[in-house]
Amino acid sequence: MLEHLTAWPRVQGQEPHPCLVLLHGRGSNEQDLFGLVPELPKQPLVVSVRAPFPFPWGGWFWYDLSGEQHVPDPETFASSMSQLREFLGELPARYPIDPARLYLLGFSQGALMSGCLTLAQPGLVRATAMLSGYLPLHAPLETDDAGVAGKPIFMAHGQYDNVLPVVMGRQARMHLETLKADVEYHEYPMDHQVVEQEMADLRRWFEGQGLT
């Protein structure tokens, strides 16, 4: 099972709980997005997952890059996707969660993983948030077209992002809208980061998805 941190619901509620899974970005770890827990909905059990591949100098990544335009290396990407699917499948046996109320939130590489998993297995997640991320549109993506239609997806990107230019977020948005996903898209005057207004918009969106 992938290494992870867990934060139990901060409000009383009957089991099984909804579950919010956090996927960090390249070079980071499970502690990173875990710091956002006080700003996230209080209702779910929160699970912050560590990517499977380590950098020699510290930090972890979901996939290596092959060439330009942030193209995921097929081998490491496929391995991470397989491990992530297995991890999510094991969660209900380990924690008192409702698998029908599973939410994903990813940043940067974690956003790509969240988005690709949602495209491939939309029935696995209730809703997905992609922060400062993109989709690997250089090649056909595994997609359940019928399941993606109407799937709630929150997207946010920095207008001055110098890691993943905002055009990459816009292209991902257009692709998801072509598939008729229910996309809420925001841009903010920021770099490759998370800001207060973004978190406020995200909390409001989560409330609309039944997560308070």
Asked if 131 contacts 105 with a C-beta cutoff of 8 angstroms, the reply is yes
Contact 136, 66 (CB under 8 A): no
Tens of pLDDT, residue by residue over 8-27, are 999 988 899 999 999 999 99
Residue 140 is predicted with a pLDDT of: 85
Q: For 34-58, what is each residue's pLDDT tens digit? A: 999 999 999 999 999 999 999 999 9
Kindly list the distances between the CA atom of residue 95 and the CA atoms of 14, 77, 104, 161, in Å, as whole numbers in the listed order.
Answer: 13, 27, 16, 36
pLDDT of residue 59: 97
Query: What span, in angstroms and rounded, lies between the C-alpha atoms of 207 and 1?
Result: 30
List all residues 6 or more positions away from 128 whose beta carbon is below 8 Å from its beta carbon: 103, 104, 105, 106, 114, 115, 118, 151, 152, 153, 154
Domain ranges of the chain: 19-208
Report the C-alpha gap between 106 and 50 in whole angstroms: 12
Residues of the chain with pLDDT under 50: none
19-208: CATH topology is Rossmann fold (3.40.50)
pTM of the full structure: 0.97
